[in-house]
Structure 1
Amino acid sequence: MIERAEADAAARRWIERYVKAWNSNDEADIRGLFSEDARYLTDPWIPAVEGADAIVASWLERRDEPGTFTFEGDVAGVDGHTFFYEAVTRYDSGTTYSNLWVVTLADDLERAESFTEWWMDQADKS
C-alpha cells in the first residue's frame, strides 16, 4: 500500500513533468509521462487515445505553442496510485479553462496508466 505522502509527492512530480512536456512538446518528455498501454481521455465523450505512441501523436497534433498559456493548480486528493488535480489554464488568446484531472500512476509512480481530463470554458455564455 502506498503511503499518502508518497502518493502526493509522486503526483506533484508527475505534474511538474507534464507541464515541462506541455511547454517543450518534446516527444521524449511526452512519452516519459505514460506507460506503453496508457489510456488518455481528453474528453469524456470521445474514445480514449490508447498507447504511448498514439498519445504522443495526438499530443503533437493538438499541441499548444510554448509561452502561449499559463497553468496553475494543486493536487485535490490522492487515493492510492490515483490522484485528482484541480487547475486553471489561461491562454494568451483570452480563453480560460477550469480543469479537473484524474490520473492513475503505474507501479513505478513515474508514468500514467490512465489520464482523464475534464475542462470547462470560463467564458460568459449568457
Structure 2
Amino acid sequence: MVPTLADVQSWLDGYVAAWRSNDPDQIGALFTEDVVYRFRPFEDAVVGREAVVAAWLDGPDAPDTWTAQYRSWAVSEDRATATGETRYTDGSHFHNVFLLRFRDGVCSEYTEWFVEAPPAKA
C-alpha cells in the first residue's frame, strides 16, 4: 500500500497521541517489527519495535509539558516527509523535519531533524 498525504497525516496524529499517552502498545502500533528509528540523523539507529518503545519510554516527556503540530508535506512511493513544531512549557521551541518510510500503513524507517528556535527577542 502506497501512503497518501492523508495517510501520513493520520500516522502523524497517531504519533502525537502515542507520545502524549506514553502507552507502549500505542507507540508500538506505529512501527513495523523491524523499524529503523533515528532520533537524530547522524546517530546510531534504534532497530526494532521493542527497542523503539523502550527508547521512547526511557525518560518520557510528561503529557502536559509540550504541544506539537506536525503536517505531512510530500509522499513519493513508500516515502514521506513531514514538518512541524514542538513547544515545551519551559519555553523551548523546536522546528522539526521527519523523513519516513512506510510498509503496510506503518512506519518502517524514521529519521527526525529538530532545530531549537532562538529565544524570542524582547
TM-score calculated relative to the size of structure 2: 0.92
> Is 1:122 aligned to residue 86 of structure 2?
no
Task: State how many pairs are aligned.
Answer: 119
Instruction: Supply the distance in 1 between the matched residues of 2:10 and 2:54 (Cα, whole angstroms).
Output: 23
Unaligned ranges ≥5, structure 2:
none
1:113 is matched with 108
Contact 1:104 1:115 in 2 (8 A): yes
Partner of 1:120: helix, strand, or coil? strand
Which residues of structure 1 form unaligned runs of 5+? none
CA distance in 2, matches of 1:83, 1:62: 28
Partner residue of 2:76?
79
- Residues 1-126 of structure 1 aligned to structure 2 (within 5 Å): 2=2, 7-106=4-103, 108-109=104-105, 111-124=106-119
**Equivalent pair of 1:31/1:56 in contact (CA under 8 Å):** yes
Q: 1:89 to 1:41 in 2, by over 3 A?
A: same
Counterpart-to-counterpart distance in 2, 1:17 and 1:59 = 14
Q: 1:101, 1:115 within 8 Å by CA — same for their partners in 2?
A: yes
Q: CA RMSD in A?
A: 1.3
Which portions of structure 1, spanning 4 or more consecutive aligned residues, are displaced by more than 4 angstroms? none
8 Å CA contact 1:7–1:80 kept in 2: the answer is no
